[in-house]
Structure 1
Amino acid sequence: MFRRDPIPPGEAVEILLDGQPISARRGDSVAGALLAGGVTRFRDSVVSGAPRAPYCLMGTCFECLMTIDGVANRQACLVTVEPGMRITRQSGAPSLLPEAET
C-alpha cells in the first residue's frame, strides 16, 4: 500500500517491532515507518480483538496505539522514530503501569 524510495545511507535507523528489526527513515513517525515497512496490524481492539491500524495519521483517532519504549498507549503517528526504539503491539486493554512494574 505505501511505497517509498530506498532509504539513503545516513538516514536509516533500526527500530524493533515485537523484537524484529525494521529499517526506518530518520525523522519518520513510528506509524509512517511501520506502514512503509509493510506492517498492517498495529494493535488488537479491546472490544472484539480485531486487528487495528492507523486511520487518520494525525492523532485524532487513536487507532495506532502501541507500547513504545515501555510506555503503553502511545500514538505511533505522533512519535518520531529514534535508533533502537522498542515497539510492541498492544492486545486488549494494556496495563497503565510501565512494563517493569507489571
Structure 2
Amino acid sequence: MTGQRKSRDQRSRITITVDGAPLSVPRGEPLATALLCAGYLCLRHSPNAGAPRGALCFMGVCQECSIQVDGRLVQTCLTPTQEGMAVRLKGAP
C-alpha cells in the first residue's frame, strides 16, 4: 500500500532515481515523504540485526531514515527532493 496525499498536489514534479529506477515526485517535498508515498517503507536495514528501518520521527532526531543520496549519507526526512537525485536503497524490500 502506498501513502496518499490529501489534496491534489499542484507543485511541479521532478524525476529522481531510486536504485536506478526513475520516480516522479513533487519538487521540494521531503524525500522521506516522497519515498513513503511511492511505497518505499523500508529505507535500509539495521547493521547488527538486519531489521528493516524507515522514517520514524520525521524531524531529524532518530536518524533511522539515513541513506545514501548522491553518494552522501543524508536524513531523508530533512532532505528536500531535487531534480536528478540518485537514491540508493539496495537491499531494502
Q: TM-score, normalised by structure 1?
A: 0.78
Query: How many residues of Structure 1 are paired with residues of Structure 2 in the alignment?
Result: 89
Unpaired segments ≥5 residues, structure 1:
92-102
Please show how residues 1-102 of structure 1 align to structure 2 within 5 Å.
2-4=3-5, 5=7, 7-8=9-10, 11-72=12-73, 74-89=74-89
Cα deviation digits, residues 49-101 of structure 1 (max 9, x gap): 111110000000111011011112x101111110110010266xxxxxxxxxx
Give the fraction of aligned pairs with identical amino acids, expressed as a percent: 36
Q: Report the Cα distance in structure 1 between the residues aligned to 2:90 and 2:61, rounded to whole angstroms.
A: 18
Greater C-alpha radius of gyration: 1
Q: TM-score, normalised by structure 2?
A: 0.85
Larger RCO (alpha carbons 8 Å, 6+ apart): 2
Runs of 4+ in 1 over 2 A off after TM superposition: 5-8
Instruction: Report the Cα offset of residue 2 of structure 1.
Output: 2.0
Coordinate RMSD, CA, aligned: 1.7
Unpaired segments ≥5 residues, structure 2:
none
